[in-house]
Amino acid sequence: MTRFLKSRMRSVMLVALFAAAFSLITTLSPVAQAKNIKIGFSMALTGALAGGGKQALEAMKIWRDDINAKGGMLGRQVELKYYDDQTNPKNVPGIYAKLLDVDKVDFIVSGYGTNLIAPAMPVAIDRDVVFMGLFGMNNNKKWKYEKYFQILPAGPDPAVGFSENWFKAIETFKPKTIALLSADAGFARNLKEGAITNAKRAGYEIVYNQNYPPKTADFTPIVRAVNAKKPDIFYIASYPNGSAGLVRAIAEVGTDAKAVGGGMVGLQFSGLMAGLGPNLNGILNYDFYVPEPTMALYPGASELIERYQNKVKTEGLKTDALGYYLVPWAYAYLDILGQAVNAVGKIDHDAIAEYIHKTEFTSVVGKVAFGDNGEWTTSRTIVVQYQNIKNNDLSQFAQPGVRKIMYPADIKTGSPVTFNSLR
């Protein structure tokens, strides 16, 4: 073949390839279904946060079925349009652009977690649409976007509000010194910063303040280093891997800290709870919903969770078997949007945002009101202490008495005792 032909071939091939790539992308435009109201979102269905993402998605499907049974939004049926963001923020802007421009969704809500909400913010702001957030930590602090609302019940200053109740709960130990440890990851670092603020307010001396990398396999050296500082309390902001590793390391090395835990993500998940079993006893941690009798202030939550658990069983889903952690919240952030849209009576994002700002909603997570930056006006993270765990049987965690509520005072079902007294 001559050189000329070769280069000709190349350019033809390149052009053909470009054309193919372009047409492949453009043919994605679906047939418009004018009738349904479409709610679009990205969700972590694979990757590090997939455990939470899948759980949230099932709850959202339950909400969709509920609202459709009740006649839908604005009298139209609701359809969920979602894509897997692979727990990678990089995929998020493209997904939301696709949802808004190609799928022509009527509303967008966020995926699960701070890191995956952040890259969607500018897209929402750019289109000036209402944006509901699911478990985002301070996502709107820089943007101050008036149409963003977030369901994590951590109060107006989420980083601080998240651990506020925990620090109130430990006052009973009259601590003087505190050790702080956090995972080297976005959410956990924010939690620890908030905890430092609370610790300083309370006048505790910080004797240890470190971060651990997410890939850490053995936590015993860290626990020993903390013990060497003899802290009265040990605040941990960790991700699931680390939470499990730390619980075990503490069980093995022991500690004299009176309170251990605080912001340990993952201890609310079925797999870890069952796997860790009795090693959890004594841990004092945050939570959002536990099967204690006083949680009746969340109307319909326990029925919702029961439906979710049945769904997991009957459909053979590979998601969290219990669903306490995210199900009510993933349901609620859609529910609030649905209520607002139906109250406004039309798709008018300005009016809907205004309505959400001025209304106190009642949903499966109780009464919700949004303040500045779309955060909750009050903090309602609850503090639980693990106790009476006998074995690795999962069903015990569905019963009251295992994760007793220590704070807030109005719903408490127990009082915190020192870590070692429950071992």
Partner 1 sequence: MEFTELLLNAIVAGILLGGFFAALSIGLSICFGLLDTVNIAHPTIIVGAAFCTFLLNDLLGIDPILAGLILTPVFFILGLAIYSMYYQFFEKQSAEALRGLAFFFGLLFIAEVLMIMAFGVDHRLVSAPYIGNSFTTALAGMEFSIPYRLLAAFVVASAMTVGLQVYLSKSFFGRATSAVHQDGMALSLMGVDPVMVKRIAFALGLATCGLAGALMIIVIPIEPAVGRFFIGNVFAIVVLGGLGSISGTLVAAFILGIAESVVSTFFGPSWAPAVSFAILLGVLAFKPTGLFGSGDTR
Partner 2 sequence: MRFKFEIGCVLVLLACFIFTQADINRFYYFAGFAILQYVMISTAWNILGGYGGYINFGTAGFLGVGSYAAIALIEFYGAGIIEQIVAAGIIAGFLGLAIGFFTLRLKGVYFAIATLALAIVLETIVNNWDYVGGAAGVSILPPRKPELLGILIVDRKGDGIFQNNKEYLFFLMAVMAVMSVWIARTIEFGKLGRGLNAIKDNEEAAECMGVPTLKLKLVATVISGALMGMAGAIFPSYVTYVDPPTAFNLELAVNSLAMPMIGGTFTWIGPVVGSILLGTVQQVAIVTISSEINLLIIGVLLIFFVTVAPQGIVGWFMKKNK
Minimum distance between the CB of residue 81 and partner 2, rounded to whole angstroms? 9
Our finding on whether 264 is near partner 2 (CB under 8 A) is: no
Q: Taking CB under 8 A as the rule, which mask of x and - marks residues 175-214 in contact with partner 1?
A: ---------x-------------------------xxxxx
Composition of the chain by helix, strand, coil, percent to 5:
50, 20, 35
**Residue 165 binding partner per list partner 2, partner 1, none, with a CB distance cut-off of 5 to 8 Å that depends on partner kind:** none
Minimum distance between the CB of residue 187 and partner 1, rounded to whole angstroms? 16
Cα–Cα distances (Å) from 46 to 88, 92, 103, 326, in that order, read 9, 14, 22, 17
Cα separation, 284 vs 263, in Å, equals: 9
**Residue 129 binding partner per list partner 1, partner 2, none, with a CB distance cut-off of 5 to 8 Å that depends on partner kind:** none
**Residue 278 binding partner per list partner 2, partner 1, none, with a CB distance cut-off of 5 to 8 Å that depends on partner kind:** partner 1
Choice between 47 and 94, CB closer to partner 1: 47
Residue located via tokens 């009259």: 174
Q: Return the CA Rg of the chain.
A: 24
Our finding on whether 250 is near partner 2 (CB under 8 A) is: no
Cα separation, 72 vs 79, in Å, equals: 10
Cα separation, 140 vs 162, in Å, equals: 16
* CB 96, CB 123: distance < 8 Å: yes
In this chain, which stretch among 100-108, 163-171, 218-226, 325-333 interacts with partner 1, using CB under 8 A? 218-226
Cα separation, 165 vs 380, in Å, equals: 8
Cα–Cα distances (Å) from 205 to 178, 189, 221, in that order, read 6, 19, 22
CB under 8 Å to 406, separation ≥6 — which residues? 169, 284, 383, 384, 385, 412, 414, 415, 416
Minimum distance between the CB of residue 90 and partner 1, rounded to whole angstroms? 16
**Strands 233-238 and 177-183, bridge-based pairing:** parallel
Our finding on whether 68 is near partner 2 (CB under 8 A) is: no
**Identity of the amino acid at 256:** D
**Residue 95 binding partner per list partner 2, partner 1, none, with a CB distance cut-off of 5 to 8 Å that depends on partner kind:** partner 2
Contacts with partner 2 in 122-151 (CB under 8 A)?
A: 122, 126, 139, 142-143
Minimum distance between the CB of residue 283 and partner 1, rounded to whole angstroms? 13
Contacts with partner 2 in 190-219 (CB under 8 A)?
A: 190, 193, 211, 213-214
* CB 364, CB 338: distance < 8 Å: no
Our finding on whether 279 is near partner 1 (CB under 8 A) is: yes
**Residue positions counted in the chain:** 423
Our finding on whether 284 is near partner 1 (CB under 8 A) is: no
In this chain, which stretch among 114-122, 251-259, 345-353, 367-375 interacts with partner 1, using CB under 8 A? 251-259
Our finding on whether 91 is near partner 2 (CB under 8 A) is: yes
**Residue 218 binding partner per list partner 1, partner 2, none, with a CB distance cut-off of 5 to 8 Å that depends on partner kind:** partner 1
3-state secondary structure of 62: helix
Cα separation, 423 vs 418, in Å, equals: 9
**Cα–Cα–Cα angle for 289, 319, 364, nearest 5°?**
30
* CB 260, CB 250: distance < 8 Å: yes
Cα separation, 216 vs 141, in Å, equals: 31
Minimum distance between the CB of residue 318 and partner 2, rounded to whole angstroms? 10
Binds partner 2 (CB under 8 A): choice among 36, 61, 76, 93: 93
Q: Which residues bind partner 2 (CB under 8 A)?
A: 1, 6-7, 9-11, 13-14, 17-18, 20-21, 24-26, 28-29, 43, 45-46, 48, 82-86, 88-95, 97-98, 100-102, 114-115, 118-119, 121-122, 126, 139, 142-143, 183-186, 189-190, 193, 211, 213-214
Q: Which residues bind partner 1 (CB under 8 A)?
A: 45-48, 50-51, 54, 184, 210-218, 220-222, 224-225, 228, 240-241, 244-245, 248-249, 251-254, 266, 269-272, 274-279, 317-320, 392
